[in-house]
Amino acid sequence: MCGLDPGELSEFLGGHTPFQSASDDELADLAAGSTVVTFPTGAVIADYSAQVPGDVWMVRTGHVMLQAADGSAVDVVEPGGIFGYTPLLTGGGMEFVARATEPSTLIRLPGQQVRTQFATPAGLAFLASSAWSVTAGSRPALVPVADSRPVGELVHGDVLLVTPDVSVRDAVIRMTEQHVSYALISLPDGEYGIFTDRDLRTRVVAAGLSVDVPITHAMSAPARRVTADLTAETVLMSMLESGLRHMPVTTARGEVIGVLEDADLLAASARQSFMLRRSIGLAADADELQAAAQQVTHTASALFRSGTKASATSSILSIVIDSVVRRALELALAEAPSDAGTPTSGFAWLTLGSIARREAMPSSDVDSALSWRDDLSPAGDQLRAIARRTHAILDGCGLPSDSNGAVASSPNFSRSQGDWARAARGWLEDPLVGKGLILSSLLLDGRVVWGETALHTIPAAYRRMRAEHPNALRLQLLDALSGRVRARSLRDVLSRRGGTFDLKSHAVTPIVNLARWGGLVGDVASASTPARLEAAAACGALSARDAATLGEVFVMLQRLRMTHQVEQLIVGHSPGDVITMSELSPLNRSLLNDGLREIAAVQRRVGNFGIPAV
């Protein structure tokens, strides 16, 4: 044990939930009944599988891992976090061992006084926010993000549905009893409101409202919801992008059959992406952001190794990179001198390339572009300077800029919305002038990650390309067909080597380009590669069979790429797409060769038949 000034201990306790609303006297009594204990690395702090201790622990310094009986990690508790309250309140049911992962100092809190604090609004908020993990032992096994089953098969338990006149206090009590972190409110117009742990913290406790107010004063309405036929992967992507932890699931007729929480869709390793995005968003300066972002590729690697499909891993990786880019841009804007006249709004930051298509790999670099309102054109140089600083921050995050110069600090990739619209018209009229074919392909993949979406004007100009600009569309096709697949590079042939192969350049890119062309035939400009292939089949640019084949080969290639790059990360190498054919397993080598033949066959068929008539 070690000593700690009582005033300092009270101040530390009062700065963390659930004690933030405690009075000075209550904090002083709590501190008087507490002791401070230090533990070396690996020491067992408490064994909840053997008994139910009467104390609750708060981490002051260091980190504590909570491990299940099989040794797997349940959670990691950081400074300010507490554990042991669930066994205390429920009398058991959570069997785990708390172990220090580094030299750590903890505060042992008297159980009865902590129990009293859980009856306060702040305590209720804390319980509601942690309720999803309270019953981890009773929930079905968490499904990996790769799950492609309909979400209707994943909902479980009774829906907590309350009336609009119920109080916040009563709703939270019922949330705690049912071990959920939400309540659905049935509204007179047939819609639903939703009240969550976040609403309790931000709209009640932080706002100083009484917990006896009607729940309609703090709910969100109408609640966003999904139908039961959507896949788990699709719903997860929607939840990740919108930052939601709860998603009501309904029948096609709108009847609620359950509410999915993030834990229903995420394996333990996938929750790291949520925590990582939170630390990225809270980064106070470039150094903090760069420290947090060093975990980006590690998180993607952990996701994939835990069983998540390559496509889902790529999507989550893209979303996390988006959050790093947004925060880097915000920090760059904050660093700009106040007298520089740099606009803080009225412009949009676009991510290009594979990240924009939600197909990022650990090796992906950051392509970008800027578009601003026409009246901000005099500030173009200032905005490009912000772009340079943003990319400098991103370089330090381990997210390098595009090596070919597709970055927002370049005049080619930073223009007013009017200039972009005029450029698009010029590219459509003559794609061979001014690298129009290349630039248009990059911008068509673009996605706004910060700012006004309407400022990205390129996709709208290309949505009726087949009807209005058939010659430009034919050039897109010729460009797509120019990337011939090949199993061996010319350098390998000349040197008589066994063969290396670039998975991206010689296999993935031909599919991406064909899909982009096929999407344009179907008046779909910006979309993922699978979505473009579906559009190509729907409009007849590709046969349904060819589109399905390319989709399957694309999934296989992305899996090979992710496997290869994760293996490189594990041994400490920089990830890349060049593989040695002899190192592939016989099965993967066969799949790759078959896939290459399928791509070449589709290219031949498309080249023979060309663009379908309007």
The DSSP line for 390-438 is HHHHHHHTT-PBPTT--STTSGGGEEEHHHHHHHHHHHHH-TTGGGHHH
Over the chain (614 residues), the average pLDDT of each successive run of 10 is: 72 82 84 91 80 76 77 69 68 68 88 72 56 39 50 81 92 84 88 87 80 90 84 71 80 83 59 72 90 88 80 87 94 88 92 94 95 94 96 96 92 95 91 84 92 90 88 90 65 52 92 95 89 92 95 94 93 91 85 92 84 52
Q: Which of 351, 352, 353, 344 is nearest to 373 (CA)?
A: 344
Name the CA radius of gyration of the chain, rounded.
Answer: 27
d(CA 51, CA 473): 71
Q: Which residues contact 444 (CB under 8 A, 6 or more apart)?
A: 458, 459, 462, 516, 520, 525, 526
Q: Is the dihedral of CA 109, 112, 117, 123 positive or negative?
A: positive
Give the per-residue pLDDT at 2: 52
* Cα distances (Å, whole numbers) of residue 128 to 89, 107, 124, 183: 13, 23, 6, 10
SS (H, E, C) 347-382: EEEEEEHHHHCCCCCCCCCEEEEEEECHHHHHHHHH
What is residue 584's predicted lDDT score, i.e. its pLDDT?
Answer: 84
Count of CB atoms situated within 10 Å of the CB of 146 = 20
Cα distances from 106 to residues 50, 123, 471, in angstroms, run 21, 20, 70
Task: Give, as one character, the DSSP assignment of residue 532.
Answer: H
Q: Which residues contact 315 (CB under 8 A, 6 or more apart)?
A: 233, 237, 240, 358, 359
Predicted pLDDT at 322: 92
Residues for the chain: how many in total?
A: 614
Distance CA 82, CA 60 (A): 10
pTM: 0.65
Domains of the chain, earliest start first: 6-114 (2.60.120.10), 151-265 (3.10.580.10), 271-461 (3.30.460.10), 470-609 (1.20.120)
DSSP SS3 for 145: coil
Task: Give the per-residue SS3 of 84-124.
Answer: CHHHHHHCCCCCCEEEECCCEEEEEEEHHHHHHHCCCHHHH
Amino acid at 13: L
Sign of torsion over alpha carbons 550, 556, 559, 563? negative
**Cα–Cα distance for residue pair 402/158, rounded to 1 Å:** 50
Residues 6+ apart with CB under 8 A from 404: none
